[in-house]
């Protein structure tokens, strides 16, 4: 695991299997979205304290 700000790379994927990656990001529940970015509310997962203002959708691990 490394920062998404780290310049990195790898050779081309020559196999018949797909190569996938994930970039986890974290922030406090008090963060709010700029208008037009509401799709991010659907893909969040709460991993610690609940959102007392109920802004983020309530999906938990």
Per-residue pLDDT for the chain (61 aa), expressed as one digit of tens each?
667 678 878 899 999 999 887 777 777 778 888 888 777 777 777 676 667 677 777 665 5
Here the tokens at position 50 are 């609940």
DSSP alpha helices (H): ranges in 1-61? Answer: 39-42
DSSP percent split of the chain into helix, strand, coil, nearest 5: 5, 5, 90
pLDDT value of residue 34:
84
């Amino acid at each position: 695991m490394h920062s998404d700000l780290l310049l990195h790379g790898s050779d081309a994927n020559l196999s018949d299997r797909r190569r996938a990656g994930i970039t986890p990001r974290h922030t406090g529940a008090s963060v709010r979205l700029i208008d037009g970015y509401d799709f991010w509310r659907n893909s969040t997962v709460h991993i610690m304290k609940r959102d007392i203002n109920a802004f983020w959708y309530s999906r938990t691990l």
